[in-house]
Amino acid sequence: MLTAERIAAPMTCHGEGPFWDARGNRLLCVDLLAGAIVAINADGDVSRYEVPSPVASVIRRRASGGFVVATERGIVVADDQLSVFDQIAEVTRNPGVRTNDGGCDRSGGFVIGTMGYDERPGAGAVYRLTPDHQVVEMLAPVSISNGVQWSTDGTRAYYIDSPTRRVDVFDVDPVTGYWSGRRPHLHVDAEGVPDGMAVDEEDGLWVALWGGGAVNHYDAAGRLVETVLVPGVTQVSSCAFGGHDRRILYVTTSRVGLPDDREPDAGAVFAVTTGTRGAVEPEFAG
């Protein structure tokens, strides 16, 4: 069993969406409801970039420079300094719905899920932004759209709709990036519910347990291998591999809904060195 350690003082209320920015040698994550992107560099220095909207995900653009960012109901591109934001697509117009988790597939498309602010069943969907900025609905209805990852060869997508307590797997069309053939990959039999996740270069999945204070590591066949404890925090939201050799697992946490006098480390980022390497995270091709 591994234990993650806090790497900086709490810097978010609802930490989510970790992404290792290899070009900048830093971890990026979001303070989702506050509308901010937070960066932690190799020296542990923290920078905060305000976004004019709640923000769910931030990922590098492959060739154009800068970043693609999922805002409350749309998608914007940002410059390298995370100071200029230009909307390129609308995901939803429903004021009761927001984006919640996303990632890029091996074809360079950006996949983002949604959920209702009131967490009502079936309020959300999953969308794909193509490199030429077209938004295509991939999956609906879903309830609380969370972790999304791809196998290292790009032929399978792994997806979490948290209330199902499952990670499902889909076949991925190599040209369009569309999903088909949904089936259960693994069931989470642990305290808490599955939230965000990371994938390693052996196609193992590392699943954050919201309410469970841990990250579970499953092998490529969906068998539980080990558990990473996140001490003093229950609301573990997501995780991502990073560092120069991609062996550090970074873990985001949240203090949404917690009284001020409980879990003082909630909202901090934690990290642990693992025995495996994370897969290289794809970047947005648009």
Contact call for residues 131 and 109 (beta carbons, < 8 A): yes
Instruction: Give the per-residue pLDDT at 198.
Output: 98
Condensed to tens digits (0 to 9), the pLDDT of residues 234-280 reads: 999 999 999 999 999 999 999 999 999 999 999 999 999 999 999 99
Domains by residue range for the chain, with CATH: 2-273 (2.120.10.30)
> pLDDT under 70 in the chain at which residues?
none
Instruction: Give the per-residue pLDDT at 50.
Output: 97
Instruction: Give the per-residue pLDDT at 64.
Output: 86
Query: Would you say the pTM of this structure is higher than 0.95?
Result: yes
Burial of 224 from C-beta contacts in 10 A (0-12 / 13-18 / 19+): middle
Instruction: Give the per-residue pLDDT at 42.
Output: 83
Instruction: Give the per-residue pLDDT at 250.
Output: 98
Instruction: Give the per-residue pLDDT at 43.
Output: 84
